Amino acid sequence: MSSNIDLKTKKILITGAHGFLGKHLVRNLLEKRNVPKENLFLPAFQDLDLTKWENCQKVVEGQDIVIHLAAKVGGIGANKEKPGEFFYDNIMMGVQLIEAARQAGVEKFTALGTICVYPKFTSVPFKEQDLWNGYPEETNAPYGLAKKMLLVQSQAYRQQYGFNSIFLMPVNMYGPEDNFDPKSSHVIPALIKKVSEAKKEGRDYIEAWGTGKPTREFLYVEDGAEGIISATERYDKPEPINLGSEMEISIKDLVELICNLMNFKGQIRWDSSKPDGQPRRCLDVSKAEKEFGFKAKVDFEQGLKKTIQWYEK
């Protein structure tokens, strides 16, 4: 029953529009989809805290489509430090926003999940049907499970109310305009910042967390934005969908690649007292291609170069 929604004719609410992914998604809608600017509602977190019910009611009023990107997110350190906040803020925003959207008669809701919803030990590549085969990795379980409840809610609302809500599970995104704050950034921006500062300060080493053994998959943010928009236009089913790039790289190889691209010849010191997180991450992304024709385009090394250039500027 896949219908192709013409976004140009719709009023679209984007939560988290001023964040890293949000900026790229808005740009795609304006430049590639030619959505009129006045059709986009882009509230900032400072003005409307979506953990409050009345704000959720306010933002969905008169909207046709909701793309819910807003989230409290961070790397392993932030997840370990604030598990309660990560659980509460993410679940309250999502659950209330979906309910408010249903009450307001919103035509379609795109809920953004995360790769952290998968069990800690999942056979690689991760397939959507393995989602419930175990508990998520402990360091990010509160965040992952809060997001996972939006899938349960989406499916329940579709069943009971015929509400068209879809659930996407992207891998870590990276690219220009990423969050480089060491307290909350993910691995790629954190490493770029470390190498850049070591070079500036003339240090001949950097410190990296963990053992370097775990693997990760990364998606260039422009590809990620395209995947989310394509799904919003063309995907209308209850099953969750992976969004990724089909690449897998160990943290050790990632650190070496970034050092190499930034021309840093120093030593890498591994702090194995710090957590590694999930042992492996790599998605099966065949479903996204089959259902709405999405395939990542940007080569990982090219994407890294663009991210480094942006940061160094």
Q: Would the pLDDT of 76 be above 80?
A: no
Asked about 143 being catalytic, the answer comes back as: yes
| Number of CB atoms found within 10 A of residue 42's CB | 15
Spatial distance between the Cα atoms of 178 and 72, rounded to a whole number of angstroms? 15
Residue 130 pLDDT greater than 80, yes or no? yes
**Average pLDDT of the residues in 152-174:** 97
In a domain, 134, yes or no: yes
Catalytic residue among 118, 135, 143, 235: 143
Contact 87, 146 (CB under 8 A): yes
Residue 12 token pair? 């679209």
Q: Which two tokens stand for residue 257?
A: 């690649």
Residues 6 or more apart from 117 whose CB is under 8 A from it? Answer: 131, 136, 144, 145, 147, 148, 151, 169
Residue percentage of the chain with pLDDT more than 90: 90
Over residues 191-239, the pLDDT tens digits come to: 999 999 999 999 999 999 999 999 999 999 999 999 999 999 999 999 9
| Residue 188 within a domain | no
Domain that holds residue 141: 7-175+218-246+280-298
- The number of helix segments (H) and strand segments (E) in the chain equals 10, 12
Look at the chain and report how many structural domains it folds into.
Answer: 1
pLDDT in tens, 289-309: 999 999 999 999 999 999 999
Q: Tokens representing 282? A: 């790599």
Would residue 265 count as lying in a domain? Answer: no
Q: pLDDT-derived band of residue 3, with 50, 70 and 90 as boundaries?
A: low
Given pLDDT bands bounded at 50, 70 and 90, which one contains residue 1?
very low
Collect all residues with Cβ–Cβ distance below 8 Å to 295 and sequence separation of at least 6: 285, 288, 289
CATH of the domain at 88: 3.40.50.720
Within-domain flag for 268: no
